[in-house]
Amino acid sequence: MSIQFYPENKIFKLDTNSTSYAIQINKYGYLLHLYYGAAVSDSELDYLAYTCPHGAHFPRVESETAENPFFSKDLHRMEYSCNGCGDFRGSALAIKRSGGTEDTDIQYVSHKIYAGKPKIEGQPATYADEEQATTLEILCRDNVSGAEVTLFYSVFENLGAMTRHAIIHNASNEVMEVKRALSACVDFHDASDMDFIHLYGGACKERLFERSPLIYGIQGVSSKRGYSSHMQNPFVALCSHDATEESGDAYGFNLVYTGNFVATAEMDSDSGARVLLGINPEGFTWRLEPDESFVTPEAVMVYSNEGLGGMSRIFHKLYRNNLCRGYWKTRKRPILINNWEATYFDFNEEKLYDIAKTASELGIEMLVMDDGWFGSRNNSHSGLGDWFVNEEKLKGGLGKLTERVNALGMKFGIWFEPEMVSKRSELISAHPEWVLQIPDRHKSISRHQYVLDMSRADVRDYLFECIKAVLDNANIAYIKWDFNRSLTEAGSALLGSERQQEVFHRYVLGLYELLERLLNAYPELLLEGCASGGGRFDPAWLYYAPQIWASDDSDAIERLDIQYGTSMCYPTSTVGAHVSACPNHQVGRTTPLQTRGNVALAGTFGYELDLTKLTDEEKEIVRKQCADYHKYFDVIHNGNLYRLISPWKDRTKCAWMYVSDDKREALVTYVVIRYRIFQRNYLRLAGLDPNKRYLNEQTGQILSGDTLMRAGMNIQEILKDYDSRVYHFIAVD
């Protein structure tokens, strides 16, 4: 097994094909973190726990003697840190007892190791069979409060990946309140040569890459908006100062959660560092009655000594194979045309049919009808919550339109925003209590809408029945599930005062329950996540939706930054990317149709424009792009990504490539952001087999893998602003 327990020194050693992770139970019963990094062969790693005495002002369990060596919870590397009993660094766990104090101190009780990976009931998580993963459960107990904590570690043996979560159980006879319950805590012995990486941004500029030296003190990212958010992503990484795309140490941490989160790195005065990841404790308390439990979301941890690119490729394989699931997990998804940028709210069945007819002639496979088909929805001021078809706009109803589109050989998709309700709607008039609200507090409004209380079963039942009625009366193959505002005044009219700080998390659990119910009822439904673009691009959504709209900024040049940052953690097969109208509706930039297609190919691929207005020449380009999607699908969606030139490095060019697992096929994309006179376009490739020879289908040149990776390719063209090229390589021997 990949997890072993060595009783002689009480060490757990967790191994993958490239990593090792070690924990020790010390003589006082505390779990100490010993090591995390590249695979090591030794199990006698207890020497790593030793810490030199630091003076009398540090709390100690006992006085230092030969029999009782120095031990302080404030200095040693703790495996799951607790609040109030001597560890003054950030805490993974804090429980308020019935007496009002927040003191928690857990010690080892027992453990078990088994093949496979348990399901986290009611929450999304990675999955594995008995051959793919091994799991360690460590039961700990606070003997004073009666809190029991089970720490779960699942190791994916053929990847440098492991997952963690915890269950906090009230084994006492009194009520306790969980104030902090994070999913992962990792203490590094020496982080003085590390950088901190995160993905920041905003609406229409999501997941932009930021790298800075790790500082003494605390740095981190978080969301308290009720969703993972445009502004920060539940992903952080630590890497060595010298780490590049293909060399150096890189540790990635990602939370499988779509609600409020926090991820911090705290470097202390002796250069050790603690990484914490989990539900944001701000505005959070979970009340545990006797014999009740709280389950944290899952944290994913990845290590690679092959740089940031190696780290990313592990995430990509794990998420493609062990997080995405269902009918569309590995199937080729249809090329779609979305009518939003073509029509916005101004459409009827004939306008949609004309777009679909043109699309079908060009090789596009699905029409998606966006916002504006329901209730009184002719603008953003009304209609949300009234999920019945507006037959004044769609004469004959949705069934008739879908039949006409299906007759063209195309699938039909539809837009929903189930979690929201318009201020002007029939639903809010009938059920004002269904809105998130706090008594006597003014309800904030955003985009002319309020947020429904997804913690309520009656709200979820209503939404399920509404969606079901639409799906049962028309042949709908796809839903774009949108979410367009943050949660404010997050109170529930159904919960008592003692549970109001549970609303944020209960909201997320309710959302998961509704999504699970929907997919169980319609297992072949293709779901795409959206939140004003990419505001919910997190691994939790990938468990339900195998693709997520990356950003409402669909400009190809802007998308270079957005999609590059997204690729740090998330695979190409999950990135919603479309060829949009030009000049672009967000930034006004005019970009060649060829480049818009080349950039969108680094995603799920589709169109977001009025095809009926294209010239004959442009239609031929679209036909070729659709053919290229099918030709290159396997290498793009199942291959290994290598980032060659980052768009933020010198702001003049960007390049990336995909390589098949057998290294017999590669696809290279090169984009000029800003032309410089007499600019040379040399590009070193990566990931090829140095002993194979490759044919460049676009130029006819044959070169060896080692030449392409060391000397590079020479793009002997003058490429101006926003020009791009794609090169397809096939092994010839």
* pLDDT above 60: residue 66: no
Distance CA 619, CA 630 (A): 17
The one-letter code for the residue type at 161 is A
Residues 641-682: pLDDT tens digits?
A: 999 999 988 789 999 999 999 999 999 999 999 988 877 888
Q: Which of 142, 195, 482, 561 is catalytic?
A: 482
Residues 342-362: pLDDT tens digits?
A: 999 999 999 999 999 999 999
Q: DSSP readout, 426-456?
A: HHHHH-GGGB---TTSPPP-BTTEEEB-TT-
Q: Which of 179, 184, 199 is nearest to 78 (CA)?
A: 184
Q: Quote the pLDDT of residue 710.
A: 97
User: Nearest-5° angle of CA 674, CA 675, CA 680?
Assistant: 125
Would you state the torsion angle of the CA atoms of residues 447, 449, 454, 459, taken in this order, to the nearest 10 degrees? Answer: -150
Mean pLDDT of 7-36: 96
Q: Which of 234, 235, 233, 203 is nearest to 482 (CA)?
A: 203
Q: Quote the pLDDT of residue 75.
A: 79
Give all domains of the chain, ordered by start, each with its CATH number.
Answer: 92-318 (2.70.98.60), 336-422+462-489+511-638 (3.20.20.70), 644-731 (2.60.40.1180)
User: Nearest-5° angle of CA 386, CA 388, CA 390?
Assistant: 105
CB 170 within 8 A of CB 145: no
Distance CA 246, CA 64 (A): 45
Kindly give the interhelix angle for 556-566 and 593-600, rounded to the nearest 10 degrees: 10
Residues 460-511: pLDDT tens digits?
A: 999 999 999 999 999 999 999 999 999 999 999 999 999 999 999 999 999 9
| Residue 402: other Cβ atoms inside 10 A | 22
Q: Please say whether the dihedral angle defined by the alpha carbons of residues 222, 223, 224 and 228, taken in this order, is positive or negative.
A: negative
DSSP tag of 374? B
Residues 268-307: pLDDT tens digits?
A: 988 999 999 999 999 999 999 999 999 999 999 999 999 9
Is residue 552 part of the annotated active site? The answer reads yes
Residues in the chain: 733
Report the mean per-residue pLDDT for the chain: 95
Q: Which of 654, 659, 579 is nearest to 621 (CA)?
A: 579
Q: Quote the pLDDT of residue 681.
A: 85
CB 163 within 8 A of CB 180: no
Three-state DSSP class for 91? coil
Residues 299-311: pLDDT tens digits?
A: 999 999 999 999 9
Distance CA 690, CA 699 (A): 20
Distance CA 572, CA 257 (A): 20
Q: Which of 87, 195, 552, 628 is catalytic?
A: 552
Q: Which of 312, 324, 320, 43 is nearest to 160 (CA)?
A: 312
Residues 578-628: pLDDT tens digits?
A: 999 999 999 999 999 999 999 999 999 999 999 999 999 999 999 999 999
Q: What is the enclosing helix (H) or strand (E) of 201?
A: strand 194-202
User: Could you tell me the pLDDT band of residue 67, with boundaries at 50, 70 and 90?
Assistant: low
Distance CA 329, CA 323 (A): 9
- Pairing verdict, β 261-267 and 273-279: antiparallel
Give residue 119's Cα distance to chain centre: 19
Is residue 689 part of the annotated active site? The answer reads no
Distance CA 639, CA 667 (A): 9
Evaluate if pTM is beyond 0.95.
yes
CB 372 within 8 A of CB 387: no
| Residue 1: other Cβ atoms inside 10 A | 14
Helices in 263-411 by DSSP H: which ranges? 307-322, 340-343, 349-362, 397-407
